[in-house]
Chains A and B, each alone.
Chain A
Amino acid sequence: MGNLSKKELDINVEYLTRVEGHGNIVVNIKEGKLEKCQLEIIEAPRFFEAMVKGRSMFEVQHITSRICGICSTGHCMASVKAVEDAIGYKVSDQTTMLRKLILHLETLDSHLLHAYFLVAPDALGVPSVLPLVKTHTDVVLRALRMKKTYSDMCDIIAGRHTHPITVCPRGWTKVPNKKELIKMKELLESTVDDLNITVDTFKTLTLPSFERETEYVALNHPDEYAFLDGDITTTDIKENIKPQDYKQIIKEYHVAHSTSKHSKNKRDSYMVGALARANINFDKLNAPAKGVADALGFKTPCYNPYMNTVAQVVEMAHCTYDSLDILNHLINNGIDETDIVTSWPTRDELHNFKVKAGTGVGAVEVPRGLLVHEYTVDEKAVVTNANCCIPTNQNLANIDLDMKKLIPEIIGKSKEEITLLSEMLVRAYDPCISCSCHMLDVKFV
């Protein structure tokens, strides 16, 4: 901290770009003292927990999907799992498999967007992907091609990626037939070369070296790299907590310097997301993903938050090959096309539909980390209480603490470099501020 001594510095990045949602970065150094250093949230609060109150459990995923366009599938999954848990409904194995598949597609799409459009421009020293259209045409076209393929696959299985149509409590309103499954497999196979070149591209990018060990939190499953199902665990506790007991880990609290809810467990902060998942579940990655990790020099435990993007590229390989396994299984064993449900009980069903009132929790690993939805439903299937714990909210305290360690380490650099490294740090978390329906407007002097 030597050269912090007389430094005066004011950084105020308003409307931080290339993140999902609205946020500012504020750094104030006065007479060498780091006075303020935080991510400030200016997203308009939207009150989803209030909006779903009084609505049927059969449309809650339709509404909560609108928390965030980019994570809409994740919100749907957490919602349907939570209401099914509340009424004690068990879905078919085929439903679970298709849910895993669509969640993989969202992870692929989101990680790709983050790595290519939001992070790569920093590494290549340009303000956005637009200048790359001319200078790195092949890179941009590759990214667009991969993105289109993932979205074409989502079109087949869910009608679209943003706000998937076919996902509902109890199962799917439409399932892909064999021809469509084969088409999806062909589409995904067509991305494998591009994925390999993606790994080569990321080999050439250098990310800042910075480390701060923290607690990592993710779902954990005995048989698989957990995305859709699992219990909650952390690098500190090393035991499994049932999703229903999520409040044992996710302790939301208020801080004076910001009006957004932060979360912590036993320490002052923890991290969720690709890096946290990899740190906890690395051994459960499939072989191709481990190969990518090897190629990119990614080793766990990894305490460099900038490496979150690298962990995302590793997960892209995992999701690609796991999706191919799922598709092969469904193609070879046949898909049960009668295994479809209506999004809402039909008129006839409704008369006899018995719902056991109760509270349920859905915990899912979405691109940015652990997402938890909790609903209480009454015997008429109406939601009486809701709570959503968003990954980005859980990461906020950790981002602030990272910045507090980072800024003194780089204080000798120019204001522009400090600004860029701070922006890159925040972007590395891939924050999704739209999601953070708990976040409030903050005013600073």
Chain B
Amino acid sequence: MSEAKQKVRVAFFDFADCEGCQLQVTYLNEAFLGLLEHVDIVNFREAISEKSDDYDIAFIEGSITRKHDEERIKKIRENAKIIVAYGACACTGGVNGLRRHYTDEEAKEIVYKGREFPLEAGRPKPVHEVVKVDYYIHGCPTNNDEFVKAVKGILLGKGYTPPSYSVCVECKLKENVCLFEKGQTCMGPVTRAGCDAWCTSYGNKCYGCRGMLDNPAEQGQMDILEKNGYTIAELKQKFETYNMCRMEAEKNG
């Protein structure tokens, strides 16, 4: 029965990143085998040797940094019917955005100290700054519950829209004590939900890995943080960890 079914051809590609989100996919375990009943994975460099350019859905992990990476993603865009950016590096630029604090020359000087060989450092960009993205699965790393939900929606043709409310909503439902009450800071109030308040439920704070909300109360967040004794420079850093690319884009209109 399943043999006769036309399977969707799926490809995974990675760019500048840690490949942790691909790894998350391997943690799907049995759900991964279930997925194989509905899709053919035709490209997944980290796990398999098979390669093909014939696919319907391309999952993109990582930020686009160099010229030939831009060409590669453009080619993938031509081949794929649907592009899904998954993981912070692809969706928002992730921590790679922090590199934008430095010019190529400065970054090279810090890391490669006076090295003579040529090197294209590139400029880290989220995927949507280079090609059109159809769907986003946020997170650093992605959360498998959300990943499965999103993939189901995409395979069924319904698509997937991540939550538009903040992490605080999920955190409250988990009955966590607010970190501000405990004298700590948190990016939860301005960060997109969907992770089920993962980090705050494990005693850490929200670092904002899912990116800022579409309409975040940025000033409110700055006021709270400032009230808690942080300098403007420190506040800016907290926003920048995962939102550097977007902040730059907004600044440049």
Interfacial residues, chain A to chain B (CB-CB below 8 A)? 15, 17-22, 43-51, 53-56, 59, 62-63, 66-70, 72, 113, 117, 121, 127-130, 133, 144-145, 147-148, 151, 158-163, 165-166, 168, 172-174, 254, 259, 340, 342-344, 346-351, 434, 437-438, 440-441
Contacts and interface: CB of A to CB of B under 8 A. Distances in A.
Contact of B107 (A21, A50, A67, A130): A50
Contact of A159 (B36, B48, B65, B202): B202
Contact of B99 (A18, A47, A130, A159): A47
Given A144-B30, A347-B183, 4 more contacts: A17-B49, A145-B29, A158-B202, A441-B119
Nearest to B182: A346
Contacts, number: 194
Interface in B46-85: 46-51, 62, 65-66, 69
B253 interface: no
Given A47-B110, A438-B111, A440-B117, A18 B48 contact: yes
A173 B199 CA distance: 10
A46 B101 CA distance: 13
Nearest to A122: B49
B22 interface: yes
A342 B176 CA distance: 14
B199 A128 contact: no
B190 interface: no
A340 B99 contact: no
A15 B69 CA distance: 13
Contacts of B98: 50-51, 63
A144 B106 CA distance: 44
A147 B45 contact: no
B57 to A, nearest CB: 17
A66 B95 contact: yes
Given A46-B16, A159-B199, A62 B102 contact: no
16 contacts: A20-B46, A22-B14, A50-B99, A50-B102, A50-B110, A66-B95, A70-B23, A127-B49, A144-B32, A148-B30, A160-B198, A165-B199, A173-B204, A342-B184, A343-B205, A441-B119
A166 to B, nearest CB: 5
B142 to A, nearest CB: 9
A259 B27 contact: no
B136 interface: no
B27 A151 contact: yes
A70 B65 CA distance: 22
Nearest to B233: A54
A121 B49 contact: yes
B18 A67 contact: yes
Q: Which of A22, A44, A159, A254 has the most CB of B within 10 A?
A: A44
Contacts of A163: 20, 140-141
Given A46-B16, A129-B47, A160 B141 contact: yes
Contacts of A59: 207, 241
A130 to B, nearest CB: 6
Contacts of B122: 44-45
Nearest to A64: B95
A19 B19 CA distance: 11
Closest A-B pairs by Cβ, 8 of them: A69-B20, A173-B203, A128-B48, A346-B183, A44-B16, A174-B203, A347-B183, A127-B49
A160 B146 CA distance: 15
Nearest to B240: A55
B157 interface: no
Interface in B116-135: 117-122
A437 B237 CA distance: 22
B96 interface: yes
Interface in B204-253: 204-205, 207, 228-229, 234, 237, 241
B47 A18 contact: yes
Contacts of A121: 49
Contacts of A151: 27
Contacts of A62: 207, 241
